[in-house]
């Protein structure tokens, strides 16, 4: 047996609860009315039996009968209601039994009784009270037993059919009336509950609008507060608490945005100020290496390390400055870029930098163009290829694919290396995230941890997205950009 589905919404639950309570109340009222009517009519029937008394069954015992035109004696049915039953018992034997037929006072009124009916009659208590029984040949009857004059038992009965008909009619009327009341109450209750919960619906709508806002970064403008119709009601208190929560969230977001702005400003200023001294250190180191006189090997090695590390530091400063500018929303160039040409150039550069890897391309026959900054898009490709080259062993196959899907350009970089560790994948595009050396055991150095974050920032600045799918033997970076002529201005 399948259970009925439970209401999911609060409105449906309240309406269903109202209808169920009303149904229980109607059922209780209807049951009480049926029981009371049945008791009342049965009591009237018992009183009628007492009024009839022993006249009819006594006529069976003592022959108090009129004669018909043939001189035969019949039980006295005068003034007896139609359907009156009479029986005479001597010990455990039914000697006579008769019932008054409609419109008859002289016909043969004897009625056949089954063995079960006779057992029912002989088992009737002689207490002057009515008892409801069912006779197989006559149906439901209300019987009352009296002691006769000769030690016998006289039984008088009336049919229960009028009582049962009245009770059944009341049950039908109650079912129709209560059913209509439940239907009307259900519709009216649903309308009333819907009207009463309108403030709660407005709170839910406000919460939905808040959930659709980009709260992760940037300045956030929260929607207008939910209306507080009645601050003393439950819904009003919910709306008030929700509005206070939105106020706290807005204050926290404002403070976070201000802190991010200060951090971006600091990163941009620091990166800009560091470019000059880093370039100066690198220049002096290279100048010292060009000195014609004899220089001890240790000093030469130290100068070479200073020049290399200052160059690496300069690249990091440039990356930080680029991220700071992208975070600040600095506009990029908006020109038509041949992405196919960028892929060819970037793969050629990667093949020169990593000849031990196998570099392949899958390009469409026609050129693929996008609208954006060619220099920054080339940086995206260069960083993805450098990531594959630096973090996979020699002999790894790296495949660059370019395709179009409707109005979207899809660029993928796939390699069959060891894969990105599972614990790093969720934050692989965050800044200063570094993988361990499991992708390439012979890897002796690490990047700055900014390459993939620059890929994500530049891609988002072009209105696109970047994703990663990685497992041992298959790592795929997917960049999606708006197609040719698209713009995210």
Query: Left (φ > 0), alpha (ψ -120 to 50) or beta: where does 79 sit?
Result: left
**From the CB of residue 100, how many other CB atoms can be counted at a distance below 10 Å?**
20
What confidence score (pLDDT) does residue 220 get?
66
Most confident among 197-211, 219-233, 454-468 (mean pLDDT):
454-468
Question: What integer best gives the mean pLDDT of the chain?
Answer: 79
Res 205 pLDDT > 50: yes
| Contact between residue 389 and residue 356 where contact means Cβ atoms under 8 Å apart | no
**From the CB of residue 92, how many other CB atoms can be counted at a distance below 10 Å?**
11
Residue listed under structure tokens 């000849």: 355
How would residue 67 be classed by pLDDT, with cut points 50, 70 and 90? very low
**From the CB of residue 99, how many other CB atoms can be counted at a distance below 10 Å?**
24
How far, in Å, CA of 375 to CA of 454, rounded?
13
Q: b vs e for 336-356, b when ≥16 Cβ sit within 10 Å of the residue's Cβ?
A: ebebbebbeebbeebeeebee
| Contact between residue 457 and residue 326 where contact means Cβ atoms under 8 Å apart | yes
H helix intervals, 197-296? 198-211, 234-289
**From the CB of residue 298, how many other CB atoms can be counted at a distance below 10 Å?**
8
Q: How many CA atoms lie within 13 Å of 415's alpha carbon, on the beta-carbon side?
A: 25
How far, in Å, CA of 147 to CA of 302, rounded?
136
Res 249 pLDDT > 60: yes
How far, in Å, CA of 157 to CA of 271, rounded?
113
What confidence score (pLDDT) does residue 66 get?
45
How far, in Å, CA of 477 to CA of 52, rounded?
103
What confidence score (pLDDT) does residue 72 get?
46
What confidence score (pLDDT) does residue 155 get?
86
What confidence score (pLDDT) does residue 409 get?
92
How would residue 230 be classed by pLDDT, with cut points 50, 70 and 90? low
Structure tokens at 295: 């220089």
How far, in Å, CA of 242 to CA of 205, rounded?
12
Least confident of 137-141, 157-161, 310-314, 335-339: 310-314
What confidence score (pLDDT) does residue 247 get?
77
What confidence score (pLDDT) does residue 431 get?
74
**151 or 369: which carries more pLDDT confidence?**
369
What confidence score (pLDDT) does residue 218 get?
61
What confidence score (pLDDT) does residue 69 get?
43
How far, in Å, CA of 304 to CA of 316, rounded?
18
Give the pLDDT confidence of 305-321 residue by residue, as tens digits: 887 777 777 777 777 77
Structure tokens at 256: 């976070």
**From the CB of residue 177, how many other CB atoms can be counted at a distance below 10 Å?**
12
**50 or 448: which carries more pLDDT confidence?**
50
What confidence score (pLDDT) does residue 215 get?
67
**148 or 79: which carries more pLDDT confidence?**
148
Percentage of residues of the chain with pLDDT beyond 90: 18
This prediction's pTM: 0.48
Structure tokens at 334: 């908006």
Dihedral sign computed on CA atoms, order 30, 34, 36, 40: positive
Mean pLDDT of 211-240: 69
Tallying the residues shown for the chain, one arrives at 489
How far, in Å, CA of 428 to CA of 443, rounded?
18
**CATH architecture for segment(s) 212-330:** Orthogonal Bundle (1.10)
Mean pLDDT of 160-180: 90
Res 148 pLDDT > 70: yes
Res 73 pLDDT > 60: no
CATH code of the domain occupying 335-482 = 3.30.565.10
Mean pLDDT of 293-310: 79
How would residue 361 be classed by pLDDT, with cut points 50, 70 and 90? very high
3-state secondary structure of 92: coil
Percentage of residues of the chain with pLDDT beyond 70: 79
Q: b vs e for 220-258, b when ≥16 Cβ sit within 10 Å of the residue's Cβ?
A: bebeebbebeeeeeebbeebbebbeebeeeeeebeeeee
Res 440 pLDDT > 60: no
């Amino acid at each position: 047996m399948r259970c009925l589905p439970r209401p999911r919404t609060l409105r449906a639950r309240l309406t269903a609860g109202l209808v169920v309570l009303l149904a229980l109340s109607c059922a209780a009222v209807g049951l009480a009315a049926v029981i009371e009517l049945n008791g009342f009519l049965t009591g009237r029937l018992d009183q009628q039996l007492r009024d009839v008394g022993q006249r009819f069954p006594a006529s069976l015992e003592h022959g108090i009968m009129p004669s018909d035109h043939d001189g035969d004696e019949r039980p006295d049915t005068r003034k007896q209601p139609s359907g009156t039953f009479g029986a005479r018992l001597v010990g455990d034997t039914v000697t006579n039994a008769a019932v008054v037929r409609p419109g008859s006072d002289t016909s043969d009124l004897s009625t056949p009784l089954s063995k079960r009916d006779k057992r029912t009659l002989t088992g009737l208590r002689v207490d002057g009270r009515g008892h409801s029984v069912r006779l197989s040949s006559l149906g439901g009857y209300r019987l009352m037993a009296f002691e006769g004059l000769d030690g016998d038992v006289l039984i008088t009965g009336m049919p229960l059919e009028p009582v049962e008909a009245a009770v059944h009619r009341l049950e039908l009327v109650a079912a129709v009336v209560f059913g209509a009341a439940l239907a009307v109450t259900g519709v009216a209750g649903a309308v009333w509950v819907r009207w009463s919960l309108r403030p709660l619906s407005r709170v839910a709508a406000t919460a939905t609008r808040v959930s659709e806002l980009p709260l992760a970064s940037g300045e956030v403008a929260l929607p207008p507060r939910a209306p507080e119709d009645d601050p003393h009601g439950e819904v009003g208190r919910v709306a008030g608490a929700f509005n206070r929560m939105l106020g706290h969230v807005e204050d926290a977001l404002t403070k976070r945005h201000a802190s991010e702005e200060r951090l971006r400003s600091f990163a941009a200023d620091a990166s800009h100020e560091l470019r000059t001294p880093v370039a100066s250190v690198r220049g002096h180191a290279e100048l010292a290496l060009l000195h014609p006189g004899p220089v001890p090997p240790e000093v030469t090695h130290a100068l070479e390390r200073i020049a290399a590390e200052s160059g690496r530091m300069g690249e990091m400063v440039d990356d930080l400055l680029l991220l700071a500018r992208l975070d600040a929303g600095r506009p990029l160039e908006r020109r038509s870029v041949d992405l196919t040409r960028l892929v060819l150039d970037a793969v050629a550069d990667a093949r020169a930098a990593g000849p031990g890897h196998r570099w392949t391309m899958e390009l469409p026959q026609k050129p693929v163009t996008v609208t954006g900054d060619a220099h920054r898009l080339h940086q995206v490709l260069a960083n993805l290829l450098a990531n594959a080259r630096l973090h996979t062993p020699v002999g790894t196959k790296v495949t660059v694919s370019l395709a179009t899907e409707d109005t979207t350009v899809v660029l993928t970089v796939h390699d069959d290396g060891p894969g990105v560790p599972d614990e790093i994948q969720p934050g692989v595009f965050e800044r200063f995230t570094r993988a361990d050396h499991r992708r390439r055991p012979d890897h002796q150095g690490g990047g700055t941890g900014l390459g993939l974050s620059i890929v994500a920032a530049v891609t988002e600045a072009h209105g696109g997205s970047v994703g990663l799918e990685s497992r041992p033997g298959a790592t795929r970076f997917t960049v999606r950009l708006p197609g040719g002529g698209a713009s995210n201005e």
